[in-house]
Structure 1
Amino acid sequence: MIADAAARRLHVIQGEFKVVTDPDVVLSTILGSCVAACMRDPVAGVGGMNHFLLPGSADALASGGDATRYGVHLMELLINGLLKKGARRDRLEAKIFGGAKTIARFSNVGEQNALFARRFLQDEGIAIVGESTGGDHGRKLEYWPLSGRARQYALTGVEAQKAVAQESRPAPAPKPVDHSIEFF
């Protein structure tokens, strides 16, 4: 593995997931109340990370919500992405991060996100080998998917304000479903 400074960094933003097989890649993200699940198959040499805003369920998706905001959607995408790259479900291990209560006047969606991630992984039979959730400060997270190494930094001051501003920004309105049919 190359030195930290020379590692190729891929940033995972809210609503995304990434899966890699390159040992020289580090995945990073900034979390407030959002949660990132980091998963890997140590035998297959594949790992990844997602970053979700809301716990969500199939009901939330069916009602026309933006699927990329919801944990249920991003957890499934991450697991399927790992399986497509050679991972086996019975060897997957996970670490979860985030879920802070960054805005005192809001409900504790961070706690709900962390609880959702724990339940989802337990229901899927995926071992949780590490966790750092809760608190009242955001975090910067770095994850080396092939080794499973994770490092986090507490966000304070201006960094914390940016993370809170990003999460409290209203999500874009969902695009209406196009029911038209084009004949040619």
Structure 2
Amino acid sequence: MKAPTREQRINVMQGTTFVTDDPSIVLTTVLGSCIACCLYDPQARLGGMNHFLLSEPRHGRRHDHGEAERYGVYAMELLINEMLKKGASRSWLRAHLYGGANLHAGMREIGTDNGRFAKEFLVKDGIALSQANIGGTTPRRVDFRAAQGQVRCKAVGTDVPIEETRAPPRPIHGGDVELF
């Protein structure tokens, strides 16, 4: 009889990305205005998560390569490319987005900007958004069993439930003939 595999938790910090096909790994992060994108390829049984602080540098602002990891433009490209390098197929990728809260009333709505950017990025890249839990004023904790595509999102420090949006499933196309 095979011994049960011990779960390993990996914290995906701001500016980092992690991709795995190991079913014992759970990727985890805590988000305020930041966004985490969880990507999953059900055919390859491969998943990954990124965590970015801002969508992109403000217009005219220069940044060095060391800062690139903070921005969604870089984080999204890195996550997708790492998934493809490890065997994922772009046509099978399914995304979940989390975070994007506006934690301080009266301040610039960074969370809203981040959420808008992430959704637009996925549309432009042709990646299906399966689920989103973004916006509001509540921080979140996300746990992602990447190899299985299972995600749990919970509010942090409050009993107020957070709203979740599920996108309708994207049709699977198997060839030139469409059956209905």
Deviation beyond 4 Å, 4+ runs, structure 1:
57-60
Q: TM-score, normalised by structure 2?
A: 0.80
Using the TM superposition, give the Cα deviation of residue 146 of structure 1 relative to its aligned residue in structure 2, in angstroms: 1.7
The residue type equivalent to 2:152 in the other structure is: R
Distance 2:38 2:115 in 1: 13
Q: Which residue of 1 aligns with 2:103?
A: 102
Q: Which residue of 1 aligns with 2:28?
A: 28
Q: TM-score, normalised by structure 1?
A: 0.78
Q: Does 1:49 align with 2:49?
A: yes
Contact 1:48/1:82 (<8 A) preserved: yes
Distance 1:153 1:23 in 2: 21
Q: Which residue of 2 aligns with 1:138?
A: 139
Contact 1:54/1:109 (<8 A) preserved: yes
Distance 2:78 2:7 in 1: 25
What is the SS of the residue equivalent to 1:44? coil
Q: Does 1:63 align with 2:62?
A: yes
Contact 1:57/1:72 (<8 A) preserved: no
CA offsets 1:104-149 (integer angstroms, 9 cap, x no match): 1321100110100000001000000011001111011101112211
CA offsets 1:137-172 (integer angstroms, 9 cap, x no match): 101110111221111121127xxxxxxxxxxxxxxx
Using the TM superposition, give the Cα deviation of residue 3 of structure 1 relative to its aligned residue in structure 2, in angstroms: 8.0
- CA 1:24–1:122: 2 relative to 1, 3 Å: same
Name structure 2 gaps, 5 residues minimum: 159-180
Percent sequence identity over matched residues?
42
Q: Which residue of 2 aligns with 1:162?
A: none
The residue type equivalent to 1:152 in the other structure is: C
The residue type equivalent to 1:23 in the other structure is: P
Q: Which residue of 2 aligns with 1:118?
A: 119
Distance 2:68 2:58 in 1: 9
Distance 1:72 1:57 in 2: 9
Name structure 1 gaps, 5 residues minimum: 158-184
Distance 1:19 1:144 in 2: 11
More helix, by proportion: 1
